[in-house]
Copies of this chain bind each other. A is one copy, B any other.
């Protein structure tokens, strides 16, 4: 029987489970905290007072609707999709995903490793923290999870058996609407910094840009290249000095690889733009931006190297062509730029913004940073068919200027 947990019933749930021997001791005094973070689920931390760091788990339970936006109904089955996606990601890249201690199909919940020593990467970026292991970890994660769920690795039969288990209509629709549709039309969900009105109007009126976004939307809806995470921004990545963990794959479905890679690179570019405000000292700003650009370079480079290695070492025999590999990766880079651009623009024009920019209280500073981000995105989107290497994405960033204040 499904019932939504509260602090007390979360405790009771854990006490009656095998977690008492798996994680805790029978005599441990447990506490539950409602973390009330995240947009769409219930999340409780249950820990032992005897060792709140090591003896702690997270319970993530699906509600029949979004927690933050209750008018949005979301199927409980997303807990299963998250569980199955974590299992698959864990098979190919165990170090970059949280362990799942238990999936409860009746309660639509997962009990998971509590990464209480980690922070959400986005907040580290806002404080100019450099994560030297981030690029190798996430580049490898992307290469392994995408390659190993693609036709380059799976047999034609195995992939076709997996696809229907990850058909994810409601959460895909959220992305279709919030990323690809609403930011470009008049819609009550949208909000933006009003100082940017002239630039926003121009984007909305740009028919070429609109058709590029819609072509990417079609790709998002049709092109089942691999099992993608589907929501891989820097808020879905937890880091500490050494580890990188990718969480929250409940948007997972078979879609275009570039959507995941673009989410990572696009959110690094958003951070780049937001340093206009966060890194006040010009020398520090320049230095941190250099690190962000190098991280974009490294994420792609390590992704590409590992993807090629896997193709060579573990690919099936259906793709016997080096030339294909080169063309595929070039096209993937262009898709990455396009999807990355869409992920950036929706954070400035649409419903859900990011703290990197939204936390900038001063409207003028925010307008400068957001104007810069929009220009980077526009260049990624409209010039991407000429991009041949990750350096082209980087040049597009460093060559971009904010249009605000408008002359």
Contacts and interface: CB of A to CB of B under 8 A. Distances in A.
Interface of A: 151, 156-157, 159-161, 163-164, 167, 169, 172-173, 176, 181, 185, 207-208, 210-211, 214-215, 217-218, 221-225, 318-324, 327-328
B169 A222 contact: no
A173 B151 contact: no
23 contacts: A151-B218, A151-B222, A156-B172, A156-B173, A157-B169, A160-B167, A160-B169, A163-B164, A164-B167, A181-B318, A185-B320, A207-B322, A208-B323, A210-B324, A211-B327, A214-B319, A215-B324, A215-B327, A215-B328, A217-B318, A218-B225, A218-B328, A222-B225
B224 A222 contact: yes
Contacts of A322: 207
A225 B160 CA distance: 16
A173 B154 CA distance: 13
Given A210-B323, A224-B224, A157 B181 contact: no
A214 B311 CA distance: 15
Contacts of A151: 218, 221-222
B181 A169 contact: no
Given A156-B221, A210-B324, 16 more contacts: A151-B218, A151-B221, A156-B169, A156-B173, A157-B169, A160-B167, A160-B169, A163-B167, A185-B320, A210-B321, A210-B323, A211-B323, A211-B324, A215-B324, A222-B224, A223-B224
A21 to B, nearest CB: 40
Nearest to A221: B151
Contacts of A157: 169, 173
Given A210-B321, A323-B208, A160 B181 contact: no
A323 B206 CA distance: 10
A218 B323 CA distance: 14
Contact of A223 (B222, B327, B328): B222
A157 to B, nearest CB: 5
A321 B214 contact: yes
Interface hub of A169, A173, A225, A322 (most chain B Cβ within 10 A): A169
Contacts of A207: 321-323
A328 B218 CA distance: 10
A203 B211 CA distance: 37
A68 to B, nearest CB: 22
Nearest to A160: B169
B214 A324 contact: yes
A381 B207 CA distance: 30
Nearest to A163: B167
Contacts of A161: 169
